[in-house]
């Protein structure tokens, strides 16, 4: 039993079977990579975990509790944070304000009419946000409008926002896509460092094999909506089935 | 000061001075001069400035922060007025209970209308609020005549059963609204040279309430709650996946802005104790949208400026008539004078809407951030070319 258990999940879009009978178990405090060719159903699977989609069949258990039928904000409050394939940040707000929101959400829950204090006077929260920005190497951009940043920076901000919530399970959908090499390495280092410092489970979808093999403890290969193999990284590299379905194609 | 940072404190003090000195500021032209008709420093009009300022400040908490565009806020204005007049009829001519009831009843109304309308967003939300407001208008106009007195409007009469107070004064007239005996209509005129400045209890009561309302809105803008409202406008998806439930946030903002509207409606009735259904009409709902956008949606001071701007036009431009124009252009040769007056006449008097419409279009096209952006540009222009270049680049700060 892992912290996340996906059992027999299927999802259809009209005639297209995006997921068929997916079984996946992610062990606590590991990094589990999900790889596979475009259109394999990787993002669809994540959508089923965070309440964006409801699977047609099957069950999704997080820490022994079903997430199905819960609203996205409830699932997040259970301890699952997600980074999207296309960055989802608060474009109209500054980088600093972006970072404050998940920190408030973590402390105050899904709703609080908190109008007595000013944002600036919440010293402890401000400190947390600044620390995260320093860790992300973004503190010099704190006053920037988030929308005006590069795609790579938006992505890093989103990762920082999710990490600042100290989730138990972090879902990353192609977190380094669109990042410069230096930022990619930076992100790998950050994730490793977070991993070493605290208890966190990470499920990561990634096309960049450098990232996958740098981080993953375990890899699931998804093709046409079904898991092909699940194994340790060194075994995946040499697996002929995987080469055929995925690595061969992209190489 | 008051839990605000330096910039906001300065803004609050400047606004307070402008409002409290309004009887001077708005009366720059000596009495009897040709320009005297552009003076706006009389109590009746100044009261409108601040009351509609409150209306727009509240509207901005919803529209400026969350981006939800309500087309039905006049319903709350009307509800506030009816509540206040009923309080005068039944309880007392003191304005305090009337104002409290206005805020409460409009808050309850807003909770109901908001609960239903906020199930949708974008244009569907706007249409729902519009539908609710038109329903309220029609109910007030005909169905609920026992409560609203239909077409005639709700007024005080000589046989109101006022519990705390008398139905009529000793000389047989209807009592007037007051604040613990201080009559709202009481006014003092001070003559300084050719200038006549008027100070009324009513205006200063409204002004102080408006300053409190303004202060509260700054606090909301700067609070974590205000930050969440801005997040709603920016990206609801990100909010949901960050563990925040957007619905209670938008509903709270809707109720708060409804209560501001109710307060404004209540104050209108405190200054002049009558309430009619036309106060709830869709044109009135549209007006507050114009005020907010014209002044600068999402800015602190914008809605107040917008409200003042529109009310000034409504009251001053609409009073200019053909003979005034004749006087202005009398220096022109006869034929030309007629032609110019004929053209200009369409933009003044009852044609003031035309002028306002053109100005509104110009502002929206050239100053998308409203009058506040205009002010910022002028400021930048004055304070040197370095800053000028910057101001042109950076867009209007969302929470100035
Ligand atoms: N909301 C939707 N409606 C209809 N079809 C969808 C929807 N979402 C995904 N699909 C389809 O389901 C299939 C799987 O899509 P998905 O986004 O999960 O792939 P992916 O593995 O994440 O691919 P990529 O690597 O390109 O991100 C694709 O064929 C896609 O077109
Ligand atoms: Mg995908």
pLDDT tens, position by position, A73-108: 999 999 999 999 999 999 999 999 999 999 999 999
- Binary contact (B230, A105; C-beta < 8 A): no
- Binary contact (B227, A117; C-beta < 8 A): no
Q: Is the pLDDT assigned to residue B69 strictly greater than 80?
A: yes
Cβ contacts of A167 on chain B, cutoff 8 Å: none
Question: For position B390, what pLDDT does the model report?
Answer: 56
Query: Residues A129-185: pLDDT tens digits?
Result: 999 999 888 999 999 999 999 888 899 999 999 999 999 999 999 998 888 888 899
Cβ contacts of A79 on chain B, cutoff 8 Å: none
Q: Is the pLDDT assigned to residue B307 strictly greater than 90?
A: yes
Question: For position B400, what pLDDT does the model report?
Answer: 44
Judged by CB atoms within 8 Å, which residues 193-232 of B form the interface with A?
Answer: 219-220, 222-228, 230-231
**Nearest atom in ligand 1 to A19's CA:** 14
Helix, strand, coil shares, percent, chain B, to 5: 70, 5, 25
Q: Is the pLDDT assigned to residue A250 strictly greater than 70?
A: no
Pocket of ligand 1 (CB under 6 A): A 13, 16, 18, 36, 38-44, 85
Domains for chain B: give ranges and CATH numbers: 6-303 (1.10.3470), 320-391 (no CATH)
Question: For position B62, what pLDDT does the model report?
Answer: 96
How near does any CA of chain B get to the CA of A71, in Å? 8
Higher pLDDT, B350 or A10: A10
Burial of B14 (0-12, 13-18, 19+ CB in 10 A): exposed
> Whats the size of chain A, residue-wise?
251
How near does any CA of chain A get to the CA of B223, in Å? 4
How does residue A235 score in pLDDT terms, banded at 50, 70 and 90? confident
Question: Hey, whose CA ends up nearest to atom 7 of ligand 1?
Answer: A13
Question: Hey, whose CA ends up nearest to atom 25 of ligand 1?
Answer: A38
User: How many whole angstroms from A21 Cα to the centroid of ligand 1?
Assistant: 16
Question: For position B399, what pLDDT does the model report?
Answer: 46
Average pLDDT over residues B85-105: 93
Query: Residues B335-359: pLDDT tens digits?
Result: 787 788 788 877 777 778 888 888 8
**Nearest atom in ligand 1 to A41's CA:** 18
Question: Hey, whose CA ends up nearest to atom 4 of ligand 1?
Answer: A13
Tell me the C-alpha to C-alpha distance, in Å, between residue A57 and each of A2, A23, A53, B278: 20, 12, 12, 56
How does residue B398 score in pLDDT terms, banded at 50, 70 and 90? very low
Tell me the C-alpha to C-alpha distance, in Å, between residue B161 and each of A35, A226, B88, B184, B363: 78, 78, 10, 21, 50
Q: Is the pLDDT assigned to residue B146 strictly greater than 90?
A: no
- Binary contact (A73, B227; C-beta < 8 A): no
Of all residues in chain B, the percent with pLDDT exceeding 90 is 49
How does residue B195 score in pLDDT terms, banded at 50, 70 and 90? confident
- Separation CA B64–CA B56 (nearest Å): 10
Tell me the C-alpha to C-alpha distance, in Å, between residue B111 and each of B114, B219, B226: 5, 22, 19
Residue among B83, B63, B56 at smallest CA distance from B254:
B63
Question: For position A216, what pLDDT does the model report?
Answer: 93
Q: Which of B61-70, B178-187, B233-242 has the lowest mean pLDDT?
A: B178-187
- Separation CA B104–CA A225 (nearest Å): 55
Q: Is the pLDDT assigned to residue B397 strictly greater than 60?
A: no
Query: Residues A27-40: pLDDT tens digits?
Result: 999 999 999 988 99
Tokens of B342: 């004929």
Question: For position B130, what pLDDT does the model report?
Answer: 95
Q: Is the pLDDT assigned to residue B125 strictly greater than 60?
A: yes
Q: Where are the domains of chain A?
A: 4-88+152-247
How near does any CA of chain B get to the CA of A51, in Å? 9
- Separation CA A40–CA A18 (nearest Å): 7
> How many Cβ atoms sit within 10 Å of the Cβ of residue B65?
29
Ligand 1, pocket-test mutation among A9, A36, A41, most atoms within 8 A of CB: A41
Question: For position A22, what pLDDT does the model report?
Answer: 93
How does residue B393 score in pLDDT terms, banded at 50, 70 and 90? low
- Separation CA B281–CA B162 (nearest Å): 30
How near does any CA of chain A get to the CA of B53, in Å? 22
Question: Hey, whose CA ends up nearest to atom 9 of ligand 1?
Answer: A44
User: How many whole angstroms from A40 Cα to the centroid of ligand 1?
Assistant: 7
pTM: 0.91
Residue of chain B with shortest Cα separation from A110: B244
Identify the CATH number of the domain defined by range A4-88+152-247.
3.40.50.300
Question: For position B1, what pLDDT does the model report?
Answer: 62
Question: For position B152, what pLDDT does the model report?
Answer: 83
Query: Residues B229-275: pLDDT tens digits?
Result: 999 999 999 999 999 999 999 999 999 999 999 999 999 999 999 88
Question: For position B149, what pLDDT does the model report?
Answer: 84
Q: Taking every pair of C-alpha atoms in chain A, what is the biggest distance, in angstroms? A: 62
How much is the mean pLDDT over chain B? 88
């Amino acid at each position: 039993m892992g912290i996340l258990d996906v059992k027999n999940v299927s999802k259809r879009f009209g005639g297209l079977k995006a997921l068929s009978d997916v079984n996946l178990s992610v062990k606590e405090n590991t990094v589990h990579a999900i790889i596979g060719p475009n259109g394999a159903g990787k993002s669809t699977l994540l959508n089923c975990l965070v309440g964006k989609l409801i699977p047609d069949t099957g069950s999704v258990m997080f820490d022994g509790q079903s997430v199905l039928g819960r609203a996205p904000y409830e699932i997040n409050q259970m301890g699952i944070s997600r980074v999207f394939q296309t960055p989802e940040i608060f474009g109209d707000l500054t980088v600093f304000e972006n970072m404050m929101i998940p920190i408030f959400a973590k402390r105050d829950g899904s709703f609080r009419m908190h109008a007595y204090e000013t944002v600036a006077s919440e010293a402890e929260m401000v400190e947390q946000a600044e620390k995260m920005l320093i860790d992300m190497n973004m503190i010099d951009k704190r006053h920037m409008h988030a929308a005006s940043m590069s795609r790579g920076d938006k992505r890093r901000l989103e990762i920082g926002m999710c990490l600042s919530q100290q989730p138990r399970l972090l879902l990353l959908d192609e977190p380094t896509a669109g990042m410069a090499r230096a930022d990619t390495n930076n992100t790998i280092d950050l994730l490793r460092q977070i991993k070493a410092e605290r208890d966190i489970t990470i499920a990561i979808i990634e096309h960049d094999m450098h990232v996958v093999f740098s981080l993953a403890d375990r890899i699931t290969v998804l093709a046409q909506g079904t898991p092909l193999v699940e194994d340790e990284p060194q075994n995946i590299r040499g697996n002929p089935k995987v080469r055929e379905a995925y690595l061969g194609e992209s190489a | 000061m008051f839990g605000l940072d330096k910039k906001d404190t300065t803004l609050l003090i400047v606004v307070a001075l402008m409002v409290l000195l309004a009887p001077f500021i708005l009366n720059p032209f000596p009495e009897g001069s040709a320009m005297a008709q552009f003076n706006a420093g009389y109590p009746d009009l100044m009261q409108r400035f601040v009351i509609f300022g409150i209306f727009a400040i509240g509207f901005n908490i919803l529209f400026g922060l969350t981006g939800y565009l309500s087309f039905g806020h006049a319903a709350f204005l009307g509800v506030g007025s009816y509540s206040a007049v009923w309080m005068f009829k039944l309880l007392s001519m003191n304005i305090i209970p009337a104002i409290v009831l206005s805020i409460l009843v409009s808050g309850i109304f807003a909770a109901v209308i908001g609960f239903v309308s906020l199930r949708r967003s974008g244009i569907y939300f706007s249409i729902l609020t519009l539908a609710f407001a038109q329903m309220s208008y029609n109910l007030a106009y005909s169905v609920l005549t026992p409560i609203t007195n239909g077409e005639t409007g709700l007024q005080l009469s000589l046989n109101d059963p006022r519990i705390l107070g008398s139905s009529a004064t000793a000389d047989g007239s209807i009592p007037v609204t007051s604040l613990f005996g201080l009559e709202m209509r009481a006014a003092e005129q001070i003559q300084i040279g050719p200038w006549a400045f008027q100070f009324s209890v009513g205006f200063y009561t409204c002004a102080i309430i408006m300053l409190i309302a303004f202060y509260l809105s700054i606090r909301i803008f700067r609070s974590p709650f205000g930050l969440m409202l801005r997040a709603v406008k920016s990206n609801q998806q990100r909010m949901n996946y960050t563990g925040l439930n957007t619905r209670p946030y938008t509903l709270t903002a809707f109720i708060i802005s409804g209560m501001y509207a109710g307060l404004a409606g209540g104050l209108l009735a405190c200054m002049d104790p009558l309430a009619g259904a036309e106060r709830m009409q869709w044109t009135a709902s549209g007006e507050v949208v114009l005020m907010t956008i014209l002044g600068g949606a999402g800015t602190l001071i914008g809605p107040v400026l917008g409200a003042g701007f529109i009310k000034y036009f409504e009251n001053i431009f609409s009073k200019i008539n053909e003979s005034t124009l004749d006087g202005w252009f009398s220096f022109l040769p006869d034929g030309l004078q007629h032609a110019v007056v004929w053209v200009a006449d369409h933009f003044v008097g009852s044609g003031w809407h035309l002028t306002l419409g053109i100005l509104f279009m110009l502002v929206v096209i050239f100053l998308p951030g409203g009058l506040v952006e205009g002010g910022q540009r002028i400021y930048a222009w004055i304070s040197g070319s370095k800053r000028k270049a910057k101001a042109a680049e950076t867009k209007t700060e969302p929470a100035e």
